[in-house]
Chain A
Amino acid sequence: LAKTTQPISMDSYEGQEVNITCSHNNIATNDYITWYQQFPSQGPRFIIQGYKTKVTNEVASLFIPADRKSSTLSLPRVSLSDTAVYYCLVGRLIPRDDKIIFGKGTRLHILP
């Protein structure tokens, strides 16, 4: 399993763009990158997933450089409700790895 490293915590202000970078230096060819969000006392919620380059959905963007040794989750114009823990996961693409491991995540705190 590729090990991931994220900042323990980050602060930002409402209306700002927030970028959370995850390092995964030993990512394998068959690995993909997934981000989850967790609010207190709730289960994690899928945000976005990608393999390379850029992926965008209605919630976030995911930037993955060519070497894939890191990835950046970008949250546009955050609000107070984006305060949560954000997890970066790296897992095998094919065949699917059923042991899906969460790291310690990044605790994002949005200030008014």
Chain B
Amino acid sequence: EPEVTQTPSHQVTQMGQEVILRCVPISNHLYFYWYRQILGQKVEFLVSFYNNEISEKSEIFDDQFSVERPDGSNFTLKIRSTKLEDSAMYFCASRSQDRASTNEKLFFGSGTQLSVL
């Protein structure tokens, strides 16, 4: 089965530093997502991305966050100035279907564990 790939699997950074989390979605997918999960808590929606622009974002996704699809294969999440509370597992997901489809199946990567010290 095709996979969403995330790198690195673990990232440790100092508070105030910038981090970039990288994802390679499944190749024919059109919709891309970032989620995060703080240890022991639920999976939280951050942002969705389609046609080179953000389609939805949550209140968590403030000016410190940005997403980019710099080429035809990568999808990145940048946190400009990390805070202690940004420590979490960050999941990338992708989906293939167009807006008229009834198939909502998201494929998730295995995540990047971000630790902010």
Contact = CB atoms under 8 A, between A and B. Distances in A.
A49 B104 contact: yes
Interface residues of B, number: 31
Interface stretch (B14-22, B68-76, B89-97): B89-97
B108 A44 contact: yes
A94 B48 contact: no
Question: In which size bucket is the chain A interface?
Answer: 20 to 34
Contact of B99 (A34, A91, A96, A105): A96
B28 interface: no
A103 B105 CA distance: 17
Given A43-B91, A45-B108, A98-B55, A93 B42 contact: no
B43 A99 contact: no
Interface string B77-107: 0000000000001010100010111111111
Nearest to B56: A99
A2 to B, nearest CB: 14
Contacts of B50: 98
Most chain B Cβ neighbours within 10 Å, of A43, A45, A91, A101: A43
A95 B111 contact: no
B43 A102 contact: yes
Given A49-B103, A94-B100, A105 B42 contact: yes
Nearest to B48: A98
Contact of A46 (B105, B109, B110): B105
A43 B35 CA distance: 9
A63 interface: no
A41 B89 contact: yes
A87 B43 CA distance: 10
Interface of B: 4, 31, 33, 35, 42-45, 48, 50, 55-56, 58, 89, 91, 93, 97, 99-111, 113
